[in-house]
Amino acid sequence: MKSSFFKNLGPISFTKIKEHLECTPINIDEDSSFNELTSIKNLNKKGLSFLIDDNISRENIVSNGAIICSQSCNRKFKDNNPLIIVNDVHSAVAKLSNIFYRPFTFDEIESFDEPKIDSNCNIAESAVIENGSIIGKNVNIGAGCYVGCNSIIGDNTIIDCNTIITNSIIAENVYVGRNSSIGQQGFGFAISNSKNIKIFHIGRVILQAGVYIGSNCTIDRGSFGDTIIGQNTYFDNQCHIAHNVIIGNNCIFAAMTGIAGSANIGNHVMTGGQVGIAGHLKIGNNVKIAAQSGVLKDIDDDSSVMGHPAINKFKYLRKYKKNYA
């Protein structure tokens, strides 16, 4: 991914990488260097990526550059693929993410172009709009708001008071409620030698047209991809959306819904209050999830579920009636 929100410190030499990783190179010259650390989807010939999922099929791997992987994944690649074999891919990525990227410094942000703000906007005096940002027509930004460098906010959007927008692209006709935080670092980390290592997230948050976000909500940016909220999707107050979540169009999430990282949510999904959805799950279209349900597995299209763990609504009600009648 070509990120305009963070400083890319590449190219990084393989020699420097070896200083941080215990690894075995395959088809990699000692004098090699890499321009970026990114997802396989966005990998180019001068880039470095990673494969964490040992269960992925060989047919789903398209490799243009070097890959960090485990010994068990080695067989999934062609004989001439450049590979870096490690024992723990997750911790290797965590370490390298902090070598390849860092936030822009204050001086670097000051060197960017001044914000482009349409003359019809209404921006409170106490709001901070950093350089490089683009603010569309008829945008309202309330008191105490902070819009980070290079953010984009589309026409007719309202950012209510004391809200933070960073690393984000926001389309037209969006509402973001008070005290919300959009685009912050996600809760991604690895554990190496009993020590926590933070994964530096270089992704973005993309809010498509007509999204409504209530007060005190948090939507984390992606790690090496984007967190995407589809058109006309509505969030009640106090919802949390983790890194790399993709949500479809016209969904409704009641208060205190929490969705863990890399979950994929379809169109027209509805959740009651305090629903929790585990990471990396796929929730189909037209799914309804009752309040306080805990979703621990994929849900097919047109399903209604409830309970913890969430099961078919009618099965749950029959079980409840049998046990408590």
Q: What's the pLDDT band for 167 if we cut at 50, 70, 90?
A: very high
Residue 176, domain member (yes or no): yes
What is the C-alpha to C-alpha distance for residues 276 and 239, in angstroms, rounded to an integer? 10
Same domain, 312 and 199: yes
Residue 77, domain member (yes or no): yes
Q: What's the pLDDT band for 323 if we cut at 50, 70, 90?
A: low
* Model confidence at 102: pLDDT above 70: yes
What is the amino acid identity at position 34?
F
Residue 143, domain member (yes or no): no
* Model confidence at 322: pLDDT above 80: no
Instruction: Please enumerate in sequence order all residues whose Cβ is within 8 A of that of 124, keeping only pairs 6 or more positions apart, or say none.
Output: 141, 142, 143, 144, 145, 161
Residue 147, domain member (yes or no): no
Residue 228, domain member (yes or no): yes
For range 141-170, the mean pLDDT = 97
pLDDT score for 318: 85
pLDDT score for 283: 98
Same domain, 180 and 32: no
Who has greater pLDDT, 318 or 234? 234
Residue 151, domain member (yes or no): no
Task: Select from 103, 132, 155 the last residue of a domain.
Answer: 103
Same domain, 183 and 287: yes
Same domain, 204 and 98: no
Please write the tens of the pLDDT for every residue from 10-58.
999 999 999 999 999 999 998 999 999 998 888 888 999 998 765 555 4
CATH code: domain of residue 201: 2.160.10.10
Active site residue 243: yes
Residue 263, domain member (yes or no): yes
Same domain, 65 and 174: no
pLDDT score for 252: 98
Of the candidate ranges 74-83, 138-147, 208-217, 249-258, the one whose mean pLDDT is the lowest: 74-83
Same domain, 176 and 254: yes
* Model confidence at 143: pLDDT above 80: yes
Same domain, 185 and 320: yes
Range(s) of the domain holding residue 169: 163-324
User: What is the radius of gyration, based on Cα positions, of the chain?
Assistant: 22
pTM above 0.85, yes or no: yes
Residue 109, domain member (yes or no): no
Share of the chain above pLDDT 90, in %: 79
Same domain, 286 and 183: yes
CATH code: domain of residue 11: 3.40.1390.10
Catalytic residue among 90, 201, 240, 243: 243
What is the C-alpha to C-alpha distance for residues 296 and 282, in angstroms, rounded to an integer? 10
Task: Select from 103, 121, 147 the last residue of a domain.
Answer: 103
Same domain, 68 and 203: no
Name the domain count of the chain. Answer: 2
